[in-house]
Structure 1
Amino acid sequence: MASHRRPKQPSRARVSVLTAAAATAVALSAQTGAHAAPAKPSKDEVKVQVDQLFNEQEQAAERFNGAKERTDQLRKQAEQLQDQVARGQEQMTALQGGLAAVAAQEYRDGGVDPSVALMLSSDPENYLTKASSVDQVNETQVQSLKTLQDQQRRLDQQKVEAAETLAELDRNTKVLNDAKAEVQQKLAEAQKLLNQLSAADRSALENERSSRGSERYDVKNLPPASGYAGAAVAAAMGKQGKPYVWGATGPNSFDCSGLVVWAYAQAGVSLPRTSQEQATAGTGVGNNYANALPGDLVIYHNDAHHVGIYIGNGLVVHAPHTGDVVKVMKADAMPIKTIRRV
C-alpha cells in the first residue's frame, strides 16, 4: 500500500534565508540600475539643446560686444582726463611758482606785501574777500589769484571726473569679463553635448547645422542697390563662406553685428557695434520684409540679439552662429523685431 506522507516542508529558518537572499538580489539589481550610465541623448535631442546653447551664446556675445565698446570708450576718456589733470597740475604749479617768486622778491626788498601774503594763503577765497581792505592791493595780483583759483576749480573737477570714469571702467570691465565667461561656458556645454554623440552622428549633425538655410538661392538676379547701401551689400556678399567667430568684426571672421559694422564701414558709414544698438540706427520701416530695400538692417528676436543685411528677393546675408559661416537665408527664417534703413 502506497505511503501518503506529506512532503517535507522547508524549515522556517530556510524560508527566512531564501527570502533574505531574494530581497538582497532585488536590492542589488535596483542599485545596479540606479548606477547604470544614463542613456546618451539622440542626435535630434542634441541638436535641439545645441541650438539653444548657441542662441544663448550669441546673446552673451552681443552683451560682450556692448561691454567691450563701452570699456574702450571709458578707457580713452580716462586717459584723456588723466592727461588733463596732469597738465592742469603743471599749470597750477607754474602759477603758484610765480606768486612765490613775487613774495620772495618782496621779502628781499624788506617785507612781504600784505596782499601777496594773502594770495599765498591756503584759502584763496579768504584773500578775495579781504583784498578790498588791504591798501596795497594790486589789480594784477588780484587777477593772478583769480586765475589760480579758477585753475584749482577746474583741476578739482577734472580729478572728480577722472575718478568717476575709472570707477565706471572697473564696473564695466566686470560686465565684460562676465559676458566673456558666459560665452565660453555656453560653447563648452555645447561641445560636451556634441562629444556624447558617435563620430558619425556628430559629423552628420555638424554638417546639417552648417548647411541649414544654405539652399541655392538665386542671388544673381537681386534688385539693384546704389550708394552706400549697395556698397554694404556687395561687401557683405563678398564675405560668404567666412566663419562666424563671436566678437569678430572681420575681415576674415565675423559675428552677426560685426558683419554689419564691417560691411557698412566699407561704404564709409559708421554703425553701432551691437545688434541692440543697430536696432535703433537709422529709420524704422516696420517689421515686414516686404517693405525692405537692399541694405536695410533686419533685426531678429524680441531682445534684438541677431541681425542681417537685406539683399532683396526676400533674402538676407548674415553671420549665423558658432560653427557656421556667412551666408544667405530667407529674411523671415527667424522672428523679425524691426527693420532699419540706414
Structure 2
Amino acid sequence: MTAYPKTAALMRRGAEFLGSEHAILCGAMSWVSERNLVAAISNAGGFGVIACGAMTPDLLDAEIAGTKALTDKPFGVNLITMHPDLFDLIAVCGRHGVTHVVLAGGIPPKGSVEAIKEFGAKVIVFAPTLALAKKLLRSGGDALVIEGMEAGGHIGPVATGVLAQEFLPALAEEFVVFVAGGIGRGEAIAGFLEMGASGVQLGTRFACATESIAHPDFKKAFFRANARDAVASVQVDPRLPVIPVRALKNKGTEHFTAKQREVAALLDAGEVEMGDAQLQIERYWAGALRRAAIDGDIENGSLMAGQSVGMVTSEEPVAVIMDRLLAESEAALSRR
C-alpha cells in the first residue's frame, strides 16, 4: 500500500520504467547532482541522475562507484552528446551496469544509442520539437523528457505548459514521457500526470537539499531569489549557436556576454572551428557553475536556477521534499 494511491496510480508506468517507487527524476545539475544527492533521491524513492557534464571517464567511473556505495536503488547517468569522450563514457556506464542513460545537449551521435542498448540500459532523450521527439523515440529512445524554458541551466524557447499540451496527446499513449521545467509543487505534478505524463523531472527544487554539496552561499542565493531573478542568457553573435542558460542574474551573467564576444572573435580570425567554439562555451559554463556551486563565488560564478527558485525557501532533507511534493499532488488529485 502507498500513502499516495492516486498519484502512484498515475505514476505507475513511469515508476516501472525507472525501477523506482515514484516517477520523480532529479534533473542532472553539474557539480550538484553527484553521489550524495543522487543517492539521497534514489533512497527517498525517486530516481537520482548523475550529471557527468565535463567529467573524464575516470572521474565518472569513480562517481558511479561512489553512488553505488551509498544506495542499492536504481539511478541513472546523464551524458552530454557533444562530449569528446562520449563513447568512452558510455563504456564506463556499461562496465558498471548502469540501467538508464540520459542523453542531453543535442541529437545523439550515430552509434551512441546502440552502444548504450548493447549493455541493456534504457535510453532517455530530450527533444525540442514533436517531429524530433518522434524520430528519436522510433530510432531507439525508450523515454522522453520534455523540458520547458522555465527550467534552470540550458533551455529551449517554449514554456512547459505549451510543450505538455503539444507532446502529451501525441506521444503519452505509446511512450513514457516525463515533464520538466519550472515544477516546484505537487499540484503541478498532479496536473501533468492527469494530462498523460508518466512522471516528472525536478532540479531546482532539490538543489538546496540538506544532502546537496552545494556551497552554503549558493543555497542562500536560492533562498533569497524569486522567479524573476532567474533570467535567460542572451546570444551576442547570431553565428555562434549558443543555447540560452537560465541562472540568477549576477556579474557572472555579464562575464558570459564577454566570453561570447571573445569566442566570436576567435571564429572571425579563423583560430577555432565552430565545434571547438561551442565546446569552449560549454567549458565556460562548467567552470562558472563550479565557482558558484562548489567554491561559493556567487557574484562571478553561474547560479543556474529555474523559475521555481522562489519556492525554494529553506534547506530540507530530500525525503522531506519528496514527501511534500507527493502529499501536495495527492491532495490536488483528491480534490478533483
Q: Which has the higher helix share?
A: 1
**Both proteins in one fold, TM over 0.5:** no
**Which of the pair has more CA radius of gyration?**
1
Shorter-chain TM-score: which interval? under 0.3
Could you tell me the TM-score, scaled by structure 1's length? 0.24
Higher-strand-fraction structure = 2
